[in-house]
Structure 1
């Protein structure tokens, strides 16, 4: 099946919050006493709109670096025994590190603290919705494999279909996940792929419009997660366990050790449930599922200008497909399993106070299988599919006056394999016709194909007074079963009316979108005609 394009034109008026984690800044804090000597303190950084609520401790020199801060306004509170409490506000408006110095005063016998009110909720620069940090900590999910999905479903413009499939603004299978800056374009719902473990991440944001040019290929909606990238000295650990109805059990364990400028983290999780998918009947037949995973993270701060992060993850999932009543009486059992091995590495280098570069690489191997016993009815399907993917990206960001410039290139190299077959056991169940007689009783498809995609972008964000303008241009070249390319311009404007507590927004997004990678080879062959169906042959380019 050829690919389809959705031209997205979005216009929104209202107070929108959050900003994409691929466009985030860094706070480099130093706290001193009145003589200029560094001191160890406890502090918090809070951003109402960005969902950030971070508690930290400086080192003995009074220094602390907080990475991955979405662009926006923040409140900073510093406390230390023997010194007056300090409350300040700062704004992160660039990807370049922000140097911030705080000088504490000796605590007098009588203290009066004047807290200045500052609005950190409204900001015309933010166009994504950041979920509050406490929503990630206090998430309520009946199924542990759907924590991220259920949180995203609370945001406007998202619809949750059966079996945990998200539809942003009614779009079908056009959700892009971004894990620590690396985009993933396959279907991440529970029935298709490995679930995202929310315990590993400290922030989550979603967006459905006003996409910067660095986002592409799937723009029905973007779900972005980011993990803690700070180096914490000493040994730290966290464990959580949950249980619920349908025999839900889940557990998570994280261990971290930090020394000097190096931090190592090891995470492990497991879950099991008797209601993995949405059952077709109330009795919830054969609906068991289990999954487990392990990951490791290495953070290394080489110097004030260089930071490297490496991440590896292995996850497996197995579940049984829930039966209808007749299938349960017949003794049907259909099993599905999947596995994914994922690794990525990123490096950030600060050339000067105005220029920063980032480099990322990722490789992963994903597979899924489905098989049926001989009692399956009315059809006995079997499938074994998977793909391998490698990703490379580089970008340069610059701050010049009121402009935030960024340009970059990305490349994907993939290898897709598919093996799909079925045997029709019966064309009728009693008087009810299930399949047309012209449909072949047996079908089998097997294929392999290599693909590659290259992209480049340039974008600018300009801020003056209450007006914020963005512009960008993206180029994509796609090759997998089809070969197409396109240019995608992006424009956006936001104007803040402070006294009314209002932000007016308008945006234009032209998107070049690729098809779902699941079963793309079978859908693009002439064999689909042998099944009596018709494919939708829509052009990829606008």
Structure 2
């Protein structure tokens, strides 16, 4: 299958990276219709803390690209002319043209009122819980040093709870997050000791969906973080760069070096970061024993506009973490010296083709591979373990976007291929851990008790799965209403087979007189099992370890983990308070079949997926911005 994946990458150069950002173009004119050169054009979103600026050319034209899908306030200034401000909604990668006419300064009386327009404090088009943050906002956050990445930023959002080593729970789910990095979906567990996290310094903007998830997104969607990375395109500088060095307690040293540049048609951005700490993971004892580590991450993005109708982009992302596993006092006294090594690499290529003034076509090819290794030591207690796990994901997708009156249409087809290999071994080393005289004695583990002459448990297997998806989404504006109508279909083919049609619908009602937005939504979701150690958890070798009492109670040793089917209901309210405050609240109910969860193997980074028959979750959350 490896040669087939390579053949796809070689033969399908036109199937490139989906563009998950908008482009704003326009002209600035004087009262007589003549172009205004060197006018300042600013787009900003007060809630996200996002700003981007450009200047008009000799023809009065401007272009601002790489804008996350949001509603913005457009402000145009030029000495001698009155300032002009208007709202612009950017919800598709179809370029949006605007024409701005500036009145002469002496023809108007201007009164400056400090604060934000109340209309900019609410989102009338949002039919579910959606939160945005820009790099300017989260760069001011007191993020912890060490191996933490973007998950530290996500924990500032409502509905997220932290677990050990950076693992996060969106609305009660266990790590069911999808990160969409410039259109590339990543559903690996990018947290703590499980995988290399995304470096926050490469992020320009985050848009987080936790309610009424658009039909475009599938797989693991209790939370979807749409990440727009930084770009050097349009900066007008051939080169600029910076280096930051930091230090903190526990011997923590960090470094971030970035450089960028570009012209009107080409841009590049690169970032290299490293961190070393003597408290790399969450400590498991007050003494913070055996807990050192280091991590290195690199990112590069290249943008090229071949013509007004063709845009290309390439992203490269790599990471490496090497660290000790934190010890308990008893483990430290025995000389335990377990270590873990995580490596990953991702590449994506992108092409956006503007079909006409109201339609675009974009395609995706992205590839990601990650390797996790656990190395045992001679002093391991109460068990020794080793692991070498390899997961790769190839995604090919196609998208069509269309503007038609009040409709913003988007449809697409996705194919995902994910080969997996797993190698795992363990053995009991402490004589009293599973003693035959103990009430908690498990007979099936006796053969792997090294302290009683047993042998190591060994598992090695590889397999590959596929997922086929299609969706259609229509966002409609009608008077004071905004409707989101979406349908998605997933066909999952791996250790089990499954299919699901998923309606995703929502409505919002705007009361401009009071600065209020009411919203409600219903989602049917289909969340696939986590791939980390899925083969081992579903194997006959693992089933042989199940105690007889558990086997009798369940009617078998194990059941294959199936995709989770979930119904999600949400109602919400957003309210502008004065000119500076926005309050956003929601209540949600979720009922699930085959709920996904996982268990840790002692205090290692090894996790095993589990499943619960059914669950119900009720929650309420609020955010003040």
Task: With the length of structure 2 as denominator, give the TM-score of the two structures.
Answer: 0.78
Matched ranges for 1:349-428 at <5 A: 349-428=353-432
Q: Name the SS for the 1:500 alignment partner.
A: coil
Residue 123 of structure 1 is matched in structure 2 by 123
Q: Name the SS for the 1:374 alignment partner.
A: coil
In structure 2, stretches of 5+ residues that fail to align are 1-17, 449-455, 548-556, 566-625
Residue 147 of structure 2 is matched in structure 1 by 145
Residue 305 of structure 1 is matched in structure 2 by 309
Matched ranges for 1:138-537 at <5 A: 138-229=140-231, 230-234=233-237, 235-428=239-432, 436-439=442-445, 440-441=447-448, 442-532=456-546, 535=558, 537=560
Superimposed CA distance per residue, residues 374-427 of structure 1 (whole angstroms, 9 cap, x where no aligned partner): 111111100000122211111101111111111101111121100000121124
Q: Is the 8 A contact 2:149 2:191 kept in 1?
A: no
In structure 1, stretches of 5+ residues that fail to align are 1-20
Matched residues in 2 for 1:279 and 1:263: separation?
Answer: 42
Are 1:136 and 2:138 counterparts? yes
Q: Name the SS for the 1:347 alignment partner.
A: strand
Matched residues in 1 for 2:344 and 2:441: separation?
Answer: 35
Matched residues in 1 for 2:441 and 2:333: separation?
Answer: 21
Matched residues in 1 for 2:339 and 2:317: separation?
Answer: 24
Query: 1:341–1:540: structure 2 CA closer, same or farther, 3 Å change rule?
Result: closer
Are 1:49 and 2:47 counterparts? yes
Matched ranges for 1:62-141 at <5 A: 62-80=60-78, 82-84=79-81, 86-95=83-92, 96-104=94-102, 112-114=109-111, 117=117, 119-126=119-126, 127=128, 128-141=130-143
Query: 1:338–1:118: structure 2 CA closer, same or farther, 3 Å change rule?
Result: same
Structure 1 position 179, deviation (Å): 0.7
Structure ranking higher on relative contact order (CA contacts 8 Å, 6+ apart): 1
Matched residues in 2 for 1:144 and 1:91: separation?
Answer: 40
Q: After the TM superposition, which of the residue ranges 444-453 and 491-500 deviates more from structure 2? A: 491-500
Superimposed CA distance per residue, residues 73-96 of structure 1 (whole angstroms, 9 cap, x where no aligned partner): 32233344x433623112224412
Structure 1 position 540, deviation (Å): 3.1
Q: Is the 8 A contact 2:160 2:168 kept in 1?
A: yes
Q: Is the 8 A contact 2:311 2:352 kept in 1?
A: yes
Structure 1 position 317, deviation (Å): 0.9
Superimposed CA distance per residue, residues 176-198 of structure 1 (whole angstroms, 9 cap, x where no aligned partner): 11111111111111211111011
Query: 1:487–1:161: structure 2 CA closer, same or farther, 3 Å change rule?
Result: same
Superimposed CA distance per residue, residues 47-85 of structure 1 (whole angstroms, 9 cap, x where no aligned partner): 1234422234445554432234344432233344x4336
Q: Is the 8 A contact 1:494 1:505 kept in 2?
A: yes
Superimposed CA distance per residue, residues 420-475 of structure 1 (whole angstroms, 9 cap, x where no aligned partner): 00121124269996873431312110001111111110111111111111111111
Matched residues in 2 for 1:319 and 1:253: separation?
Answer: 22
Q: Is the 8 A contact 2:370 2:392 kept in 1?
A: yes
Matched residues in 2 for 1:386 and 1:56: separation?
Answer: 44
Are 1:28 and 2:51 counterparts? no
Task: With the length of structure 1 as denominator, give the TM-score of the two structures.
Answer: 0.89
Structure 1 position 337, deviation (Å): 0.6
Q: Is the 8 A contact 2:398 2:413 kept in 1?
A: yes
Matched residues in 1 for 2:242 and 2:59: separation?
Answer: 27
Matched residues in 2 for 1:296 and 1:147: separation?
Answer: 17
The number of aligned residues is 520
Matched residues in 2 for 1:61 and 1:295: separation?
Answer: 36
Structure 1 position 351, deviation (Å): 1.1
Q: Is the 8 A contact 1:71 1:91 kept in 2?
A: no
Query: 1:403–1:427: structure 2 CA closer, same or farther, 3 Å change rule?
Result: farther
Matched residues in 2 for 1:228 and 1:494: separation?
Answer: 31
Q: Is the 8 A contact 1:411 1:454 kept in 2?
A: yes
